[in-house]
Amino acid sequence: MKNYILPCCILLALGGCSSSQPNQLILNPVYQSGKVSSINQSLSTSVIDLRGDPATLKLIKSDKTQTIASQGITESIKSILDSALSRNGASISNLATTRFEVDIHTLQAVVTEQMVTHISNAKIELGVRVIRSSSNFSKIYRGNANLEGPLGHDRAKIEGQLNKLTEQLITRMVSDPELLAFLEG
């Protein structure tokens, strides 16, 4: 009997450790595309979270749905935006007369877990407004990414999926010919 108690205790302890994940998703996109355009402007940037649903991860299992938020989403998006604009020649200054505003409309991964597989559908929608004293520019940028894998989801892969999709949208933004033409004009 004693031979079974220790292995059972160890299994219970390890089982408790493996199932506990932090109750937030870490969004930390990094701009890696380098110089893709030439933005010779001084810009004041801001990011506003307009999402109706604050959950960054929606985990759907057969009988329940769990939602997980992310702290500091606006700061993460502003950081990658400022990095992308700076690497492409813009100077970021709170005193700039041209305002570059980004609204977060959607930023979420929906993960559906089944018995032997999981599917993650990530969607991001960012609205951009560039405001000058005499004119404005606005455009919506959307992106989707899908991920499928065996068994349960891996939180790090879902974070990576959202981070990569965010970087792709920001890169598309700073290389958009319409946006660049407005900034030059």
Domain ranges in the chain are 2-184
Reduced to 3 states, what is the DSSP secondary structure of residue 181? helix
pLDDT in tens, 61-77: 878 888 888 889 999 99
Say how far apart CA 93 and CA 82 lie, in whole Å. 10
Token representation of residue 97: 């007369």
Contact 177, 139 (CB under 8 A): no
Report the pLDDT value the prediction gives residue 151, as an integer from 0 to 100. Answer: 75
Report the pLDDT value the prediction gives residue 22, as an integer from 0 to 100. Answer: 54
**pTM: predicted TM-score of the whole model, two decimal places:** 0.84
Q: How far is CA 168 from CA 60, 88, 155, 182, in A?
A: 26, 15, 20, 21
- Quick one: average pLDDT of 129-145? 95
pLDDT in tens, 76-109: 999 999 999 999 999 999 999 999 999 999 999 9
Say how far apart CA 1 and CA 150 lie, in whole Å. 37
Of 82-86, 108-112, 115-119, 131-135, which gets the smallest average pLDDT? 115-119
Q: What is the mean pLDDT of the chain?
A: 87
User: At what angle are helices 73-87 and 155-174 packed, to 10 degrees?
Assistant: 40
Homologous superfamily of 2-184 in CATH? Lipoprotein like domain (3.30.160.150)
